[in-house]
Amino acid sequence: MGMPGWIRLAMAVPALLGVRLSLASELPPPLPADLALKSVTGVWQFIPVPLPEQNITHLALSRKNDRLFLGTRDGVASYDGVAVQVPDFVPSGSRQSIIVKSMVEVGDGAVIVGSANDSLWRWKDKQLSPLYGACPRGSGGCPTGDWALARSQAGTLYVASSRFALQQTEALSALRAAVSDVVIPVATSASFLGFAGEALVAVSQGGEVSIIDKTSGKPSSARRFDVRPNAFVRSVSFSADYIFAGTDSKCVAVPLDPAEAPTDLAAGNCRAAYRQTDGTTWLSTNALYRNEAHGWNEWSPGSVGSISANSLLDDGMSNIWVASTSGLWRYLDLSREYRFAPDDKIASVLADSGGGAIVGMMSGRVWHVDQKLRALPLFSPKQAILPASAYYQGALLAKGNDGVTWSLSADGLFKIAADAPERVADYPLPISEGSRAVASFAVSSSGEICAGLSWSTDVLCLRGGRWENVLEAPSYIGGSAIGALVFDDQGTLLSVGPLTVSLKGRHELTLGPFEPSPFGNVNLFGAVALPANVAGADAVVSGGWGRTIFLKRADDTWSIVERPAGDGQEQPYLIRSFAAHPRYGLLAATDAGIYRWEGSARDGQWRSLRNIDPRLGLGVDHIIPGTDNSLWIASGPSLTRITLPISEPKIDISGPAEGGVIDRTAIAYTINFPGLVGLPSRKTATVSYDPPIPNAARSVSGPTARIDLTDLGDQETYKVQPIVTDGFLNSATPVGSKFSVRLPFYQNPYKLSLAILALVALPLIIVTRRGPTGFLLRRVGGLRWSTAKDDPQLALEIDEVGEDAVRFEVEAPAAINLIRLAVDAPKARIEGLPKEALPFLVSIAEGQAFGDREEFDTALQRVSEVLYDEALPESVRFTTSQFESGAMSLDLSKSLLWFPLELASDGQRDPLLLRYAIGRTVSGDTLADADGLRTSRLKVAIVAPQLEPDQEQLPHVKAEAQNVADAVRAWGAEIIVVSPAATKAQVLEALCGSHLFHYAGHAEFDPLDAGESFLPLLNDRLTAKEVAEALSTRPNQLLLAFINGCGTSREASWERAEDVYGFASAFLNNASFFIGSQWPIQDEFAAPFATAFYRQIFPTSYGLWWRLIRRDELSGLSFAESLRQARHAVREMSFTSDQTWSSYVFYGDPTRRLVLG
């Protein structure tokens, strides 16, 4: 048999492959001229800087690692993980442009800033004050000169100047007076200063490198590297053995040893060169490039194209901070990749005791890769043997109880001892076997060795030097395999077959057959972990059936852990391997990435880790634990170490004083998520309340969130306790806050007026059909109805710009720092997958695809992620993620009415429609503007039609109408009674005579002619065109229409005036607010949704009466916020309610609310 090419190549690779990764003291090869953009680089975050100049020149980290200091060509700023903050100039007359050259934090926490304007500054407590050389704007004739600063761990501050610091006595005197640190001037001209390992190094713009004596400040040695004529050094970074310089002509690494020559890393203008402690090197030329063990790649966020950097900083917390010409980027630096020969493939992986990996290859080779990704060959076959079976898997590995590694491949069974590999037995099958192959391999604590086969249910064990059949598992007609084997500590063998788990030990037992997963066909793969590292289980298996099964052992008998009926484990179809990680619990490598089991064996579920890093969402073949906070994954020829930062997430909670007493029934807490570990939007807090507080947020996300607590009870003591987690599976100790409610006498009318109110109530009930509250509101109080509005917290306008672009314009006046931005996105991308989102959800809701309603939540999540990836630019996502909640005005051009922005995710836990009160408007059309509402009688028409002559109203429709009527009557509104058997004329009369119009029932949407969409009535139908005609020709004061039916907000297109094509435009073109659904909703949730909505507009409490007596203005929540609250209320009712609460949209001003005053 001829030797295949991949084996010949693997045989030819020398043992030196084990040192392919450069040591930290060695340099990467020069940057090639042409490089491809890395397709998946990881997670990036863009952080806008609120300064006129976004070009960041310098980065520095605080000593506590909790704040990043930013220097630009116009000033300084800091970032604490919540917001970028800019200090004030003190005195204000010192305001000027500062080109920041260096920054260093000194002993008292102040930051000394050195500029290229020949000036020094002191920055502390949000104040920036001049120390030397300040040259305010407009003064003219400002000098130039670089100041460079460095501080030793012992607390000595070194200072250098390109104008020679020893002669700047005025500057040194001012600096020494401003800091408590010892200040030593550097006795040479320099623009850059820093520590390269233990050495203090100064570098000039002309390329002179000086080692500085740390006691005297004088140069002890010096060398010069060539920067070429008319070129200068623009940036410098320091590593243990080199300084890396970016010049106008090249990127260069200069060794500290003068006997070694500098090495050019790239030609051309080099903005920055930087090296991490593990040897990973970055260069910024025409783009940003990164070098790892497998060479150079262009490295960028991907969605914005190439970026360049003026400076980079590794903060040691898995962040690479990139100071770019357009702002600040954060890259989550979580992975390192090692690639074996491209024609070989990883067959199996074992964890070693030192946190490294033992890797078996398809070629039969076995390698050891340590934590620094240094590979050492442990075993190479003497001859290349390839079985005839297409299902041959290569070198399978197992580890005995003594820690010795065993390898089973076509070359035979080998014991890989410390001195030399020992061949123990032949391969279990003939090499010429055309179908069967070894699929799994295990070694027991007593030394028993067994192998499972593919296209067979046989398990073979080595007995007396020969392989014997010891177990035959139940087969499956479509194909069989023993996908996984493991021995427990009592010597029982667990074998995972296509539909069963067979056990052989003291007792023989078969568990199963298990019901196949609905996600795909029965397969030949299997996975097992023992122990499982999950509460309530001792082992976990997944086989050809495609589900996860947990097992427990009592004495020496294994049994299945029963899960609740209807368990629909959210998991991919194919699990390749398990890993019981000591820190992160049970992990699974699947065809859809890495998953983590959360919860117990009985009640838990799988959660994808793709939000940590997109590479964890790609298909993975193998997974093993590494050190405490690392893990290894493998696919194809690539082995990747993932290292997650360990931290205790922080949370700042502000509200009432701890243990304090408040005198009102509502309070707000503000929660901030500071710290540089992890993306702010992926930090979450789960909030508990004791006693429970209805409608209070149970989960909030960073960087900042607000929790509104309302309807608090008098004489109650509340405890609010948020538990914060970051995006890296770290949790913090719960933080608690207590307060008590003690209402003053005048806010608790029941205490004094109970008897009086009881006497007044009886005649009031007699004189009015709408009860005492309505009578007081309208007759005794003399109050009148109107509307009020505020400025939205966020305004987003989306419009087409030319033929090829869509522009997003965002204004966030309520942000911590004022944000205004405009960004263009390719129209082709916006109209690609995002335009399919709404039809996709409609098809599922209408049963045209994936008819099982339980799958709608999965589809909704997919749509949310697609909109995140494809439709929302990075800067827009950043802006929306700055708020946990608030009002958002969404202005869409007519051609973009299909755009379902409400469903999009911006990286936080919940999509936008659950966090924002969103009101849509349409560019160029005058929509609802109801300032003219001023009436003493608010009229509400409720239509709940009877659809069949011989049948009453549907029960849920009747209940909905009654609940809506009860809610609006609580404030004295007048109900226009509309009979269930009302004619079209009667319904239109009620529509034009009311201020609020509510329709409860079914609606029919006509996709061919939206104007013919209709509301069914008894023996008739009311079309959208008829609604538009009535509202445009008859006098009316209609303020809001809520059509609680299917597909009422869908627009086939948008036209002006009477050319309407759907219910939404029928109302909107006639100056009415509108709420409708975009797809069929579920009857069991429609009525509770409407009830929750109106109860937010017309809230009831005992304080209402007392406010009437004091003639205070009464107001509920805005229409849009009431809709958002109703979504949450129905969402908490049932996990199957997604199809209903996600369907509703609101057209109009998101801040408009009803007022009675």
Query: Over the stretch 235-262, which tens digit does the pLDDT of each residue have?
Result: 999 998 899 999 999 999 999 998 899 9
Rg (CA), the chain: 35
Averaged over 264-287, what is the pLDDT? 94
Give yes or no for residue 837 having a pLDDT over 80.
no
Please give the residue that has the higher pLDDT: either 419 or 494.
494
541 forms beta bridges with 528, 549
pLDDT on residue 416: 92
Same domain? For 1040 and 1116 the reply is yes
CATH number of the domain where residue 727 is located? 2.60.40.3450
> Is 966 inside a domain boundary?
yes
How does DSSP classify residue 1013?
Answer: -
727 in the same domain as 705: yes
Q: Which residues contact 426 (CB under 8 A, 6 or more apart)?
A: 412, 413, 467
CA angle 483-486-491, nearest 5°? 145
The last residue of one of the domains, among 236, 262, 288, is 262
* pLDDT grade for 745, boundaries at 50, 70 and 90: low
Q: Note whether 1025 and 1127 are same-domain residues.
A: yes
pLDDT of amino acid 524: 81
Boundary-marking domain end, from 209, 235, 262: 262
Residues 66 and 115 in one domain: yes
Greater confidence (953 vs 443) lies with 443
Segment 63-84 shows an average pLDDT of 92
> Residues 1055, 1150: one domain?
yes
Identify whether residues 85 and 163 lie together within a single domain.
Answer: yes
Q: Determine, yes or no, domain membership for 681.
A: yes
User: What is the model's pLDDT at position 1037?
Assistant: 87
Residue 1066 predicted with pLDDT over 80: no
Residue 288 lies in a domain: no
pLDDT class for 815, splitting at 50, 70, 90?
A: low
C-alpha–C-alpha distance, residues 500 and 488, integer Å:
17
Q: What is the pLDDT of residues 623-633, one digit of tens each?
A: 999 988 999 99
Q: Distance between alpha carbon 754 and the CA centroid of its chain, in Å?
A: 52
- Whole-angstrom Cα distance, residue 209 to residue 193? 10
pLDDT tens-digit map of 303-344: 677 889 999 999 999 999 999 988 899 999 999 999 999 999
Residue 931 lies in a domain: no
Select from 229, 262, 295 the last residue of a domain: 262
Residue 287 included in any domain: no
Encoded tokens for 149: 């600063």
796 inside domain = no
Is 1119 found in the same domain as 1060? yes
Mean pLDDT, range 409-415, rounded to an integer: 95
1015 in a structural domain? yes
Residues 730, 765, single domain; the answer is: no
- Domain range holding 1021? 939-1156
Residue written as token pair 């509301």: 1015
Is the domain of 111 the same as that of 208? yes
CATH, residue 1096: 3.40.50.1460
Q: What is the mean pLDDT of residues 967-982?
A: 87
Least confident of 640-649, 893-902, 908-917, 949-958: 949-958
| All residues at 6 or more sequence positions from 230 whose CB lies less than 8 Å from its CB, including other chains | 248
CATH code of residue 167? 2.130.10.10
DSSP state of 316: S
137 and 231 co-located in one domain: yes
Alpha-carbon distances of 517 from 398, 608, 825, rounded to whole Å: 29, 18, 40
Contact between residue 737 and residue 653 where contact means Cβ atoms under 8 Å apart? yes
171 and 129, same domain (yes or no): yes
Mean pLDDT across the stretch 1091-1113? 72
- 733 and 760 together in one domain: no
Determine, yes or no, domain membership for 255: yes
Question: What are 486-540's pLDDT values in tens digits?
Answer: 999 999 999 999 999 999 988 899 998 988 876 667 778 899 999 989 999 999 9
- What's the domain count of the chain? 4
* Conformation bin of residue 489: beta by default, left when phi > 0, alpha when psi is -120 to 50: alpha
